[in-house]
């Protein structure tokens, strides 16, 4: 009679041997749990997670139904689909990680199913199910091992390349910093070695079982079966020796899991599941009540950050993706977002002052471009951390120079460059611009912004937008001298209450004039108005000028610009392309004829002006804008199109520095549109 495919657990084991196994495995699991509880206690020092703006402050934690939905959705997107991992390092890092992840996940599910079969009354591990189970586990085990081997090889090759580069032309300190992104700590090789040995000894164990106790259906585990054929018969004792040898590595895995980078297997699930449901560009507002309670502003110690933010740092897998994309790091500044996260992890335990641990120089170097946030596979929000510590530094008077002047100017005149309110109407002369205070009827408030009103280059954009809106018969109006800075630069530098003062002032204007829709040519203003002003009572539909212009082109009210193919290259502003996810509208205005730079759309490269860096000094060698300008002109384009006044200012200087003898035109998309539309359109 044919034997039904299945296998006996603990084959040849006596009860004392089984008991010994359970004692050891429970001890290892208890040690793992102990280490995790220690970390949980560190996280619990932080502020409760009390902010989830899109749901009026409801935190997404179990057991609410909303919380559960949020958890499941994020786990599916970021853990099971590996969305972030797949979008970064697509040539080697992503496939390698996917192989390890899906291989590991299959083995984890398989082990869980086996445990259910062994310890519950439900017995299903036999027959066709058994054959399929064994086949899938065997194949995915190979995928897992191949991924681990690939990861080790990749690290070794990168180490050789970077060590070589460091030895040839880099000073020691710089070389150390530049090696950071790939992280070739010896622990990495131990970790990969442990995973590899666990996988290989797993196959050996399978083969030993087949050699000691052959069955006609062993073919369903092809790797183990082949190994068994090669090694020949085993005695029951030899089988048990191999069994214990494999288990030693499994026990070691449980013990070291929370200590090594491997812990991200657990922590990333927690972090991604419970991440705050906040737009990328929104910063947490601080209330006066909070300041009275804590007697401080911002984060001085790790415990001043939220529990989620603290937990997220433990999910860091030290992959270095954040540092690779950081514009500050790429021009040789000390800011290294990966190091920032590691330093914060250290400060969580030591209780050290964050500004000291994270380095003030690094904190001020951040442009809040969110490239690190976008790249991070475990969804760490570096910018929240940076700004929270900056808030504390500013409150303690540790900001000086032009950025401090900017704060004073914003406070005294409501203009980031210190211009008087009336100067906000200078650009309007001779253009017959409708003003809200004249009680005109309007659909869109045209929000001009500080730079848009007074910077000579940005004023060209402002005028072009106004003329295009008129040509397309869009009913719009401006606030003129009643407009104040949105407070974006102040907030990102760390002066939270100045931002809140400006936000309240502007929101009262919106209420006064019944503003429902806003269009602006400044992505920084767009971000604040759209993602942050909701905390101060406004409810606006906010469009970037390229979005509204694209709508008007689609309706036939305006013509898109029509450059020769490759003649123009477009620089995506961080706060449009990445932070607010709009990169199609600007391209539509160029009839998709632009030459694309290497960094584009949500992976754009920062010009270096955000986060208040516009008002901070830096040497030409350390200007992110110079690097970006070089990349833009290397596309071969002779015109650089922009869609942000900050980018325009930064790139204007940099183009002159990197190409002093070459004629490169710098122009906003609205101006290109105006050239095309001048006198040619009869709006419907």
With CB under 6 A as the contact rule, the residue among 191, 211, 306, 368 that binds ligand SF4 is 368
Torsion angles phi and psi, residue 11, rounded to 5: -60, 130
Within 8 A by CB and 6+ apart from 380, the residues are 271, 312, 313, 315, 316, 322, 341, 372, 373
CB-nearer residue toward ligand SF4: 382 or 676: 382
Cα 424 to the center of its chain, rounded Å: 36
Instruction: Give dist(CA 529, CA 502) in Å, integer.
Output: 11
- The CA distances from residue 54 to 64, 539, 543, in Å, are 16, 12, 19
Q: How far is the CB of 295 from ligand SF4 (least distance, A)?
A: 29
Q: How far is the CB of 614 from ligand SF4 (least distance, A)?
A: 13
DSSP for 99-165?
A: HHHHHHHHHHHHHHHHHHHHHSS----BHHHHHHHHHHHHHHHHHHHHHHHHHHHHHHHHHHHHHHH
- Contact region for ligand SF4 (CB under 6 A) — 299-307, 378-386, 389-397, 439-447? 378-386
Q: How far is the CB of 330 from ligand SF4 (least distance, A)?
A: 9
Q: How far is the CB of 183 from ligand SF4 (least distance, A)?
A: 8
CB 424 within 8 A of CB 481: yes
Question: Half-sphere exposure of residue 587, counting CA atoms within 13 Å on the CB side?
Answer: 15
Q: What residues pair up with 476 in beta bridges, in sequence order?
A: 444
With CB under 6 A as the contact rule, the residue among 162, 188, 304, 318 that binds ligand SF4 is 318
- Using CB under 6 A as the binding rule, whether residue 328 contacts ligand SF4 is answered as yes
- Using CB under 6 A as the binding rule, whether residue 383 contacts ligand SF4 is answered as yes
Q: How far is the CB of 531 from ligand SF4 (least distance, A)?
A: 16
CB-nearer residue toward ligand SF4: 365 or 664: 365
- Contact region for ligand SF4 (CB under 6 A) — 25-33, 212-220, 377-385, 490-498? 377-385
Residue with tokens 């992505």: 523
Give, as ranges, the residues between 338 and 357 that touch ligand SF4 (CB under 6 A).
Answer: 338, 341
Q: How far is the CB of 328 from ligand SF4 (least distance, A)?
A: 4
Strands 444-447 and 476-477: parallel
- Using CB under 6 A as the binding rule, whether residue 590 contacts ligand SF4 is answered as no
244 burial level (CB within 10 Å; 0-12, 13-18, 19+) = middle
- Using CB under 6 A as the binding rule, whether residue 372 contacts ligand SF4 is answered as yes
With CB under 6 A as the contact rule, the residue among 59, 85, 182, 376 that binds ligand SF4 is 376
CB-nearer residue toward ligand SF4: 179 or 209: 179
Instruction: Give dist(CA 651, CA 657) in Å, integer.
Output: 9
- Contact region for ligand SF4 (CB under 6 A) — 66-74, 75-83, 330-338, 484-492? 330-338
Instruction: Please list, residue by residue across 418-435, b when 16 or more beta carbons sit within 10 angstroms of its beta carbon and e when fewer do.
Output: bbeeebbbebbeeeebbb
CB-nearer residue toward ligand SF4: 209 or 382: 382
CB-nearer residue toward ligand SF4: 328 or 477: 328
Q: How far is the CB of 515 from ligand SF4 (least distance, A)?
A: 31
Q: How far is the CB of 87 from ligand SF4 (least distance, A)?
A: 12
466 burial level (CB within 10 Å; 0-12, 13-18, 19+) = buried
- Using CB under 6 A as the binding rule, whether residue 331 contacts ligand SF4 is answered as no
- Using CB under 6 A as the binding rule, whether residue 270 contacts ligand SF4 is answered as no
Which alpha helices (H) appear in 514-597, and where do they start and end? 523-527, 545-554, 584-589
Q: How far is the CB of 522 from ligand SF4 (least distance, A)?
A: 19
Q: How far is the CB of 621 from ligand SF4 (least distance, A)?
A: 17
Give, as ranges, the residues between 509 and 528 that touch ligand SF4 (CB under 6 A).
Answer: none
Query: What binding mask, one character per residue, do residues 606-625 give for ligand SF4 by CB under 6 A, x or -?
Result: x-------------------
Kindly tell me the sign of the dihedral angle through the C-alpha atoms of 565, 568, 574, 579. Answer: negative
Q: How far is the CB of 125 from ligand SF4 (least distance, A)?
A: 37
Query: What binding mask, one character per residue, do residues 185-224 give for ligand SF4 by CB under 6 A, x or -?
Result: ----------------------------------------
Count of residues touching ligand SF4 (by CB under 6 A): 30
Q: How far is the CB of 283 from ligand SF4 (least distance, A)?
A: 12
Q: How far is the CB of 307 from ligand SF4 (least distance, A)?
A: 18
* Three-state DSSP state, 544: strand
With CB under 6 A as the contact rule, the residue among 307, 321, 463, 623 that binds ligand SF4 is 321
CB-nearer residue toward ligand SF4: 376 or 474: 376
- Using CB under 6 A as the binding rule, whether residue 297 contacts ligand SF4 is answered as no
* Three-state DSSP state, 642: strand
Query: What binding mask, one character per residue, do residues 77-116 give for ligand SF4 by CB under 6 A, x or -?
Result: ----------------------------------------
CB-nearer residue toward ligand SF4: 117 or 342: 342
CB 635 within 8 A of CB 595: yes
- Using CB under 6 A as the binding rule, whether residue 387 contacts ligand SF4 is answered as no
CB-nearer residue toward ligand SF4: 328 or 589: 328
Q: What is the CA radius of gyration of the chain?
A: 30
Instruction: Give dist(CA 97, CA 221) in Å, integer.
Output: 24
Could you tell me if residue 414 is left (phi over 0), alpha (psi between -120 and 50 degrees) or otherwise beta?
left
- Using CB under 6 A as the binding rule, whether residue 390 contacts ligand SF4 is answered as no
Instruction: Give dist(CA 375, CA 85) in Å, integer.
Output: 8
- Using CB under 6 A as the binding rule, whether residue 327 contacts ligand SF4 is answered as yes
Beta strands in 208-319 (DSSP E): none
Instruction: Please list, residue by residue across 135-173, b when 16 or more beta carbons sit within 10 angstroms of its beta carbon and e when fewer do.
Output: eebbebbebbbebbbbbbeebeebbeebeeebeeeeeee
- Using CB under 6 A as the binding rule, whether residue 316 contacts ligand SF4 is answered as yes
Q: How far is the CB of 630 from ligand SF4 (least distance, A)?
A: 18
Q: How far is the CB of 408 from ligand SF4 (least distance, A)?
A: 24
CB 178 within 8 A of CB 162: yes
- Using CB under 6 A as the binding rule, whether residue 367 contacts ligand SF4 is answered as yes
- Contact region for ligand SF4 (CB under 6 A) — 117-125, 303-311, 312-320, 638-646? 312-320
- Using CB under 6 A as the binding rule, whether residue 370 contacts ligand SF4 is answered as yes
Terminus-to-terminus CA distance in the chain, angstroms? 86
- Using CB under 6 A as the binding rule, whether residue 573 contacts ligand SF4 is answered as no
- Using CB under 6 A as the binding rule, whether residue 643 contacts ligand SF4 is answered as no
* Number of neighbouring beta carbons within 10 Å of residue 34: 10
Torsion of CA 251, 254, 255, 261, to 10 degrees: 130
CB-nearer residue toward ligand SF4: 580 or 594: 580
Give Dmax (Cα) for the chain. 100
- Contact region for ligand SF4 (CB under 6 A) — 376-384, 505-513, 517-525, 559-567? 376-384
Instruction: Give dist(CA 38, CA 485) in Å, integer.
Output: 46
- Using CB under 6 A as the binding rule, whether residue 371 contacts ligand SF4 is answered as yes
Task: For residue 127, give both structure tokens.
Answer: 């027959």
> What does the binding site for ligand SF4 look like in residue numbers (CB under 6 A)?
316-322, 325-328, 335, 337-338, 341, 366-372, 375-378, 380, 382-383, 606
């Amino acid at each position: 009679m044919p034997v039904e495919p299945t296998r006996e657990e603990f084959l040849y084991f006596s009860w004392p041997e089984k008991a010994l196994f359970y004692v050891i495995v429970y001890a290892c699991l208890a040690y793992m749990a102990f280490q995790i509880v220690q970390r949980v206690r560190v996280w619990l020092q932080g502020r409760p997670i009390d902010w989830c703006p899109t749901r009026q402050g409801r935190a997404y934690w179990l057991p609410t139904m909303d919380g559960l939905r949020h958890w499941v959705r994020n786990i599916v997107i970021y853990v099971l689909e590996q969305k972030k991992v797949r979008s970064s390092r697509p040539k080697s890092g992503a496939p390698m990680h996917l192989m390890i992840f899906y291989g590991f996940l299959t083995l984890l599910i398989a082990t869980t199913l086996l445990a259910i079969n062994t310890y519950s009354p439900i017995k299903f591990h036999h027959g066709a199910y058994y054959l399929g189970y064994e086949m899938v586990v065997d194949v995915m085990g190979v995928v897992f091992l191949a991924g681990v081997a690939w990861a080790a090889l990749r690290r070794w090759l990168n180490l050789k390349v970077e060590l070589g580069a460091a030895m040839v032309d880099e000073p020691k300190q710089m070389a150390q910093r530049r090696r950071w992104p790939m992280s070739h700590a010896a622990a990495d090789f131990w970790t990969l070695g442990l995973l590899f040995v666990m996988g290989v000894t797993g196959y050996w164990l399978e083969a030993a079982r087949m050699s000691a106790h052959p069955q006609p259906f062993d073919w369903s585990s092809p790797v183990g079966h082949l190994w068994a054929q090669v090694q020949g018969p085993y005695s029951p004792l030899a089988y048990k020796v191999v069994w214990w040898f494999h288990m030693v590595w499994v026990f070691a895995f449980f013990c070291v899991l929370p200590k090594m980078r491997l812990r991200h297997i657990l922590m990333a699930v927690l972090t991604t599941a419970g991440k705050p449901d906040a737009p990328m560009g929104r910063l947490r507002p601080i209330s006066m009540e909070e300041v009275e309670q804590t007697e401080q502003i911002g984060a001085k110690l790790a415990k001043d950050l939220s529990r989620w933010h603290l937990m997220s740092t433990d999910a860091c897998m030290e992959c270095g993706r954040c540092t690779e994309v950081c514009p500050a790091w790429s021009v040789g500044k000390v800011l290294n977002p990966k190091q920032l996260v590691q330093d914060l992890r250290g400060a969580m335990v030591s209780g050290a002052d964050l500004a000291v641990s994270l380095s003030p120089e690094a904190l001020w170097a951040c442009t809040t471009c969110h490239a690190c946030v976008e790249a991070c596979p475990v969804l760490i929000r570096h910018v929240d951390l940076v700004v929270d510590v900056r808030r504390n530094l500013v409150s303690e008077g540790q900001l000086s120079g032009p950025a401090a002047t900017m704060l004073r100017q914003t406070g005294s005149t409501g203009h980031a460059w210190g211009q008087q309110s009336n100067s906000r109407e200078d650009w309007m002369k001779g253009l017959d611009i409708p003003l809200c205070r004249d009680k005109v009827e309007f659909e869109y408030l045209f929000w001009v912004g500080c730079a848009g009103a007074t910077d000579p280059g940005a004023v060209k954009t402002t005028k072009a937008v106004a003329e295009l809106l008129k040509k397309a018969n869009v009913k719009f109006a401006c606030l003129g001298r009643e407009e104040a800075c949105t407070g974006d630069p102040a907030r990102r530098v760390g002066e939270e209450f100045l931002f809140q003062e400006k936000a309240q002032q502007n929101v009262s204007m919106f209420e006064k004039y019944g503003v429902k829709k806003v269009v602006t040519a400044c992505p920084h203003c767009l971000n604040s108005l759209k993602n942050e002003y909701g905390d101060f009572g406004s409810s606006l539909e906010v469009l970037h000028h390229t979005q509204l212009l694209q709508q008007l082109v689609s309706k036939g009210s305006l013509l898109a610009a029509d450059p020769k193919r490759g003649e123009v290259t477009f620089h995506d502003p961080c706060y449009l392309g990445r932070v607010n996810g709009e990169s199609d509208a600007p391209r539509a205005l160029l009839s998709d004829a632009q030459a694309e730079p290497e960094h584009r759309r949500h992976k754009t490269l920062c010009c270096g002006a955000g986060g208040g860096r516009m008002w901070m000094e830096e040497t030409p060698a350390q200007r992110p804008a110079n690097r970006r300008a070089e990349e833009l002109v290397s596309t071969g384009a002779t015109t650089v199109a922009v869609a942000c006044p900050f980018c325009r200012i930064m790139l204007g200087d940099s183009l002159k520095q990197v190409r002093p003898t070459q004629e490169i035109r710098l122009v906003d998309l609205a101006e290109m549109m105006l050239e095309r539309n001048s006198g040619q359109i009869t709006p419907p």
